[in-house]
């Protein structure tokens, strides 16, 4: 078999599904930490001539990044023909400008770090705001997989009477797409962020939402404040209990529990970040299509000239 998928420990179910779809052998990373905190990674040494696909959950990126670099470099040293990365959640994308004097603009710096490590990258709905395209950030081939088709299928199957609610203007791109595919109405609210843990969100239109199940949609839930503020408004309008639908379940601290306390009837996410209670939408089928396209670009055509 000429493909080997190397999964980092935290995305095992997604990685196993993806490996089957790519017809790749799974070769887990041995990863242990010494008492001083340094990492030792150990790979299957049989990598000569193969295309390696590393699958890494980057939710806790600061603790994973060096090990990821060690894996990619070691795979090359062991003779891998190519090393690609599937990072279903791409971190640091929100720090895409200098919000305050002297701050690092982390998004392009992290992009350079990744492109120095791997030959190609596949990710799901990166938070592209001031950088509208992934290829404006990366010089290696990239594919941006949209979660909207899978999320729309989930809405159609589970909440056919939904009204989708995007909490801020940035969410319009996802909410509109999911709503069109699921054939349900949507609203986009206005958000003012006053700090890491302080946001204000405008009121939804109660008339349009009456009799429908509100589904609040966002690409990322981190502190949870954006969703929680929206849920608080929905509760005051006497609407049906809301569902929260999120692509990347970052959930800092106890954000998931606080969403439930704030009135979410259900919190549903894709599996780009492992969270057993809310992962309900598998991204492996769409990720496999993107990986196949990038692997094909690296395989010389066998067709006669
Ligand atoms: C920002 O524009 C994103 O789309 C999310 O709305 C944001 O990251 C959510 O953050 P939090 O959960 O901390 O309010």
Query: Within 88-224, where are the H helices?
Result: 106-115, 148-158, 172-182, 206-209
Predicted TM-score of the model (pTM) = 0.92
The pLDDT value recorded for residue 301 is: 53
CB of residue 226 inside a 6 A radius of ligand 1: yes
Closest protein CA for atom 9 of ligand 1: 221
Nearest to 278 by CA among 286, 287, 266: 266
Query: Within 81-129, where are the H helices?
Result: 106-115
pLDDT tens by residue, 106-119: 999 999 999 999 99
- Find the 262 Cα to ligand 1 centroid distance in Å: 16
pLDDT tens by residue, 131-155: 889 999 999 999 999 999 999 999 9
Cα 285 to Cα 17: distance, rounded to the nearest angstrom: 8
- Find the 143 Cα to ligand 1 centroid distance in Å: 23
pLDDT tens by residue, 73-109: 999 999 999 999 999 999 999 999 999 999 999 999 9
Please name each of the domains of the chain with its CATH number: 3-145+283-297 (3.40.50.2020), 148-273 (3.40.50.2020)
CB of residue 119 inside a 6 A radius of ligand 1: no
Closest protein CA for atom 3 of ligand 1: 220
DSSP-derived secondary structure letter, 271: S
What SS3 class is residue 249?
strand
- Find the 94 Cα to ligand 1 centroid distance in Å: 9
Which residues of the chain register pLDDT less than 70?
1, 300-305
CB of residue 219 inside a 6 A radius of ligand 1: yes
Burial class (CB in 10 A: 0-12, 13-18, 19+), 260: middle
CB of residue 230 inside a 6 A radius of ligand 1: no
Nearest to 221 by CA among 250, 192, 198: 250
Q: List phi, psi (to 5°) of 52.
A: -95, 135
Ligand 1 pocket test target in 166, 174, 190, 218 with most atoms within 8 Å of CB = 218
Cα–Cα distance list, 5 to 70, 81, 84, 164, 239 (Å): 16, 13, 9, 36, 46
CB of residue 222 inside a 6 A radius of ligand 1: yes
């Amino acid at each position: 078999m000429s493909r080997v998928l190397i999964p980092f420990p935290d995305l095992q179910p997604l990685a196993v599904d993806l490996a089957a779809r790519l017809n790749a052998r799974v070769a887990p990373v041995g990863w242990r930490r010494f008492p001083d905190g340094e990492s030792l990674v150990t790979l299957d040494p049989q990598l000569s001539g193969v295309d390696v696909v590393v699958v890494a959950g980057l939710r806790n990126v600061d603790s994973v990044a060096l090990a990821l670099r060690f894996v990619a470099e070691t795979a090359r040293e062991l003779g891998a023909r190519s090393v690609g990365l599937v990072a279903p959640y791409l971190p640091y994308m929100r720090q895409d400008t200098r919000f305050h004097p002297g701050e690092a603009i982390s998004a392009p710096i992290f992009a350079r770090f990744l492109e120095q490590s791997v030959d190609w990258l596949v990710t799901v709905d990166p938070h592209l705001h001031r950088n509208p395209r992934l290829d404006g950030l990366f010089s290696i081939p990239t594919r941006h997989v949209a979660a909207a088709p899978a999320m729309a299928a989930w809405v159609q199957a589970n909440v056919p009477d939904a009204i989708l609610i995007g909490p801020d203007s940035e969410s319009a791109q996802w909410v509109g797409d999911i709503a069109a595919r699921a054939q349900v109405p949507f609203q986009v609210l206005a958000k003012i962020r006053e700090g890491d843990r302080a946001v204000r969100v405008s009121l939804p239109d109660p008339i349009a939402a009456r009799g429908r199940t509100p589904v609040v949609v966002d690409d990322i839930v981190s502190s949870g404040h954006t969703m929680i503020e929206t849920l608080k408004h929905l509760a005051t309008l006497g609407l049906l209990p809301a569902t929260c639908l999120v692509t990347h379940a970052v959930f800092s601290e106890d954000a998931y529990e606080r969403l439930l306390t704030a009135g979410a009837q259900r919190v549903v996410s894709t599996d780009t970040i492992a969270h057993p209670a809310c992962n309900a939408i598998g991204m492996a089928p769409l990720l496999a299509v993107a990986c196949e396209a990038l692997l094909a670009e690296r395989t010389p055509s066998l067709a006669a000239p």
